[in-house]
A and B are shown apart, each in its own frame.
Chain A
């Protein structure tokens, strides 16, 4: 199974090209949704589109695969990512026909199996990506919702706070925070990335809430005497969250990339932790004689980021009524 990532890109190209340019009108599609005449909700409409979309199916498959690797690396390899044997395996070239064996993708300059390392490196990237996204999603949505709904001075203050955090370059801020920690585990790195990462979500949420709060159903709820909390949680949030989810999915890929960049710069995960960024940094030193040390972690990293980007893209297109 793990050879899927390398095939994903060209496959996506051919499949995408055969897609009809103009989406088929809904009433011409075989109806598998609710009974005719009953309007579908935004999400079930989107789901109806997504199920037929090759780019969504491929990215969803890839993400599932990466999540499985992250959760159960032992299913994919028995070899240890940390055991190195310099005398036997120093920079040994890949044996591309020995599928899923430790020597499949070759060995690095410390005699460690590249295949075992890219499998065991998945967990760090996925955990950090998901954790940062979760923190940023909650914090950003909350700030954006309050600023957008209440407006006035609340909006002015919160928007300036967002501007303030946006003014400091993202990667730089994370580096400044991380350098003061001696031990940098996934949680510390996630927090460092989240400190400056939440602003984009806050801006998207604010814009979305401002649009939604003028809707008739919000006015109706208010005139029926619904309280602020109820209006926010039951009416505004479900209707304003769609663009935020799309941005969060795309951002997840960005956080995985940022984590790898930090490890590459030597301020992220360090040995004995296994991470793709660190391995790529290590591999660039032997690029002339053993390019496989650089190439395979790079492919895994890029395929993971690509999967989340493609998923975000597909969901956005499905949710956008203008493209119908």
Chain B
């Protein structure tokens, strides 16, 4: 187990370097951060040169990247062009997005797996068809359409919730935004669980369990569910990273000042240290969540043991 973790951590290094270099390249090679800083007006050449030297922008891209990597290894993510340390923006926004992600993940696990098991056990029946069709419709309606409409009905027409959340939202304020964020993944989790349950239901060990005379409830929870969850857990693990980063639309609709909000501002204003810094952390979260999921396999499936 220990050796497996070490090997996986070592494998992550090239991916981490590759992904951060890729985003670095996209930000610094495609756009000109200094020009972006001046908006529509042309920058004063002397000021531009001074800024370029200050942020190492006069060096070749690969040297800029190495300098940047050296900086973040000492915990310094640089300063945004407005003078605020990027790490301060992160400390403010990551906890908010993390809470939002937790709410979304809870919806996916509770609702998604329950619906998936129910429709998987009744494959082809009325409930199954309804659930399947509902998931298709949910996937087909883009988040920004559903989010805007739901915010209007629940927040403005019915006034059940606040249409926008506060600067430090608690879990209760994040329930509706979390549901909106979760919906598409929720539909995928439902479909995945359904397929997996329907397939495993015909497995030999289920027949054995039935023949042994075990109660149906126990067969479902202990035998069927545990074996059916592996693909679902893989999906959920990969989804943690997506939910943290993919909240741009949801955070914009409900004015949540999390990672998506900061990134949206950063990208629009071509605020390079913010964008690269945030994406670097997101890549790290994505990689660690995937590792965690692989380790969880061993818990779910005793046939998988990491030497």
A residues at B contact (CB < 8 Å): 9, 12-13, 16-17, 21-22, 160-161, 163-165, 167-169, 171-173, 175-177, 179-180, 253, 257, 260-261, 264-267, 277, 280-281, 284, 287-288, 294, 298, 301-303, 305-306, 309-310, 313, 322
Given A167-B19, A302-B137, 18 more contacts at CB 8 Å? Answer: A164-B22, A167-B283, A168-B19, A168-B23, A172-B248, A172-B267, A175-B264, A180-B270, A253-B140, A257-B142, A260-B142, A265-B252, A280-B144, A301-B142, A302-B142, A303-B140, A309-B136, A322-B199
Q: Which of B30, B144, B245 has the largest number of chain A CB atoms within 10 A?
A: B144
- Please report the C-alpha to C-alpha distance between residue A287 and residue B23 in the assembled complex, in whole angstroms: 37
Q: Is the CB of B22 within 8 A of A305?
A: no
Determine if B145 and A172 form an interchain contact, defined as CB atoms under 8 angstroms apart.
no
Within 8 A of A (CB), among B1-21: 11, 14-16, 18-19
Choose one: A180, A287, A303; the contact of B31 (CB below 8 Å). A180
When the two chains form the complex, which single residue of B14, B23, B248, B275 contacts A171, counting CB atoms closer than 8 Å?
A: B248
- The prevalent SS among residues of A at the interface is helix
Q: With A168-B19, A169-B245, A172-B279 as given contacts, are A261 and B133 in contact (CB-CB < 8 Å)?
A: no
State the CA gap A261–B136 with chains docked (Å).
18
Establish whether residues B249 and A261, one from each chain, have CB atoms under 8 Å apart when the complex forms.
yes
Closest to B284 in A: A167
Kindly state whether residue B181 has any CB partner on chain A within 8 Å. Answer: no
Decide if B136 touches A179 in the complex (CB within 8 Å): no
Task: Indicate if the CB atoms of B241 and A169 lie closer than 8 Å.
Answer: yes
Q: Is B114 an interface residue (CB 8 A)?
A: no
Across the interface, name the chain A residue whose C-beta is closest to B272.
A176
Given contacts A167-B19, A167-B287, A264-B144, contact A306 B137 (CB under 8 A): yes
* Cβ A12 vs Cβ B282 within 8 A: no
The secondary structure that dominates the B interface is helix
B306 close to A (CB within 8 Å): no
Q: Chain B residues near A265 (CB, 8 Å)?
A: 248-249, 252, 264
List the A side residues contacting B145 at CB < 8 Å.
280, 294, 298, 301-302
A residues less than 8 Å from B78 (CB atoms): none
Report how far A177 CA is from B27 CA in the complex, Å.
7
Nearest residue (CB) in A for B287 is A167
Name 21 interchain pairs, CB-CB below 8 A, sorted by A. A9-B133, A17-B126, A21-B123, A161-B18, A163-B19, A164-B22, A169-B245, A169-B282, A172-B279, A175-B248, A175-B267, A176-B27, A179-B31, A179-B268, A253-B139, A261-B249, A280-B145, A281-B144, A287-B152, A298-B141, A309-B140
1/0 per residue, CB under 8 A from A, across B109-129: the answer is 000000000000001111001
As a 0/1 sequence over residues 233 to 258 of chain B, the CB contacts with chain A under 8 angstroms (1 = contact) are 00000000110011011001000000
A288 to B241 CA separation, bound complex (whole angstroms)? 35
| Total A-B pairs, Cβ < 8 A | 135
Known pairs A164-B22, A265-B252, A280-B145; A17 contacts B264 (CB<8 A): no
Tell me, in angstroms, the Cα distance from A313 to B11 when the chains sit together. Answer: 35
CA–CA, A260 and B118, complex, Å: 34
**Interchain CA distance A190-B31 in the complex, whole Å:** 18
Please give the residue numbers on chain B whose beta carbons come within 8 Å of chain A beta carbons, in ascending order: 11, 14-16, 18-19, 22-23, 26-27, 30-32, 123-126, 129-130, 133, 136-137, 139-145, 148-149, 152, 156, 199, 241-242, 245-246, 248-249, 252, 263-264, 267-268, 270, 275, 279, 282-283, 286-287
The 7 closest A-B pairs by CB, nearest first: A21-B124, A164-B18, A180-B31, A167-B19, A306-B140, A169-B245, A180-B30
**Bound Cα distance from A264 to B148, whole angstroms:** 11
Min C-beta distance of A86 to chain B, whole Å: 24
Closest-CB distance, A284 to chain B (whole angstroms)? 5
Q: A13-B129, A176-B26 are in contact. Are A313 and B18 (CB under 8 A)?
A: no
Which residue of B129, B149, B246 contacts A294 across the interface (Cβ within 8 Å)? B149
- A168-B279 CB under 8 A given contacts A176-B23, A177-B26, A179-B270: yes
Q: Is the CB of B124 within 8 A of A22?
A: yes
Q: Which residue of chain A has its CB nearest to the CB of B23? A: A168
Residues of B within 8 A of A322 (CB): 199
Q: How distant is A55 from chain B, measured CB to nearest CB, in Å?
A: 9
Please give, as numbers and ranges, the residues of chain A lying within 8 Å of B136 by CB-CB distance. Answer: 306, 309-310, 313
